[in-house]
Amino acid sequence: MRETTTSGARAASRFSRLATVLALGASALLCFTGPAQAAPAQDPLPVDIPDYQAALAAVKSKAVLDAVCRFLSVPVPQGGSDTPQAIPDKAEPCEGLPTFTIKDPLAVNEITPGFVAGTSQPIPTEAVKLSRLVSSLSITVNDRQATVMLAPTQGGGWHLAAVREGDSDATFAGQATPGSLVFAEPQIRAWYQLTLLTVTPLNDQARQGLNGRSSMSLSEYQQVVKARYADKLAGSEYDTKGFSSGYSTASTEDASSSTPLIVGGSSAALLLAGGAFLLYRRRRDTTD
């Protein structure tokens, strides 16, 4: 099975057009708010994916395709088992599966600890940051979808972090439009759209996270998450006494490692441990 190669020029052109639209949007905000509110408009929405070609090469690689095929070759464990299930190491992992491709990677942004703590300004470049990339499959395979997660590699580039059941992350990430971005509040599984300085919920968890409101300013949203998490940040008493893992992003992957790690959550995920692929399903989810 071979992956189709996406033109780098096409990707570069897409980002160039998006940057132009964002610049025009920032100018419009400047005109609307006047000089006193000019500063936030000068900070563009952080939409660029660094080392995009490396990310594209990763999701189109045979190694990642084989990892996905191994994941799909074993039924998802039912119930709340904490016992890893070995995945057979076949010479041709994709043999017997329908032909599929892995879509281009999308950015997953998350709120930053500084934004939560109130030490960062309520502007897009300080409120959210790129945490990982996700790619879903071109088709459902045996009635299943899967998400490929990439984590940044120390020194540049991207590596496979996990293969996860379902495609909700990619579905939400794909709702970003020219002039907006999508970000997650992973602790409550909430997804939002940020347009200029307005936060809009994209799922029920996000609507609950905004206390039922249809939208609010980024500044108001900062106060909401500060009240929700500021006393639970990593290093806080809540954290050090073991009540939780503290506030952190949903990505627990070690950016310096090229070894796929398990992703916490109620869905199945693939990891590589000691050279053997394992399938695992956690009983509880506390971080995403």
pLDDT digits (tens, 9 = 90+) for 108-163: 999 999 999 999 999 999 999 999 999 999 999 999 999 999 999 998 999 998 89
- Number of domains observed in the structure of the chain: 1
Residue 74 placed within a domain: yes
Q: How far apart are the first and last CA of the chain?
A: 33
Residue 62 placed within a domain: yes
Residue 1 placed within a domain: no
H-helix or E-strand spanning residue 272: strand 268-273
Structure tokens, 134: 């996700």
Range of the domain at 79: 8-281
Pick the closest to residue 164 from 264, 92, 93 (CA basis): 264
pLDDT digits (tens, 9 = 90+) for 201-257: 999 999 999 999 999 999 999 999 999 987 776 654 434 444 333 333 334 343 334
Cα angle 232, 259, 102 (rounded to 5 degrees) comes to: 95
Residue 2 placed within a domain: no
Residue 215 placed within a domain: yes
Name the H helices within 210-257.
218-229, 237-240
Upper half-sphere CA count for residue 38 (Cβ side, 13 Å)? 5
pTM for this prediction? 0.71
When pLDDT is averaged across residues 65-87 and rounded to a whole number, the result is 76
Residue 3 placed within a domain: no
Residue 146 placed within a domain: yes
Residue 79 placed within a domain: yes
Q: d(Cα 184, Cα 249) in Å, to the nearest integer?
A: 9
pLDDT digits (tens, 9 = 90+) for 157-210: 999 988 988 999 999 999 999 889 999 998 899 999 999 999 999 999 999 999
Q: Residue 29 in contact with residue 198, Cβ under 8 Å?
A: no
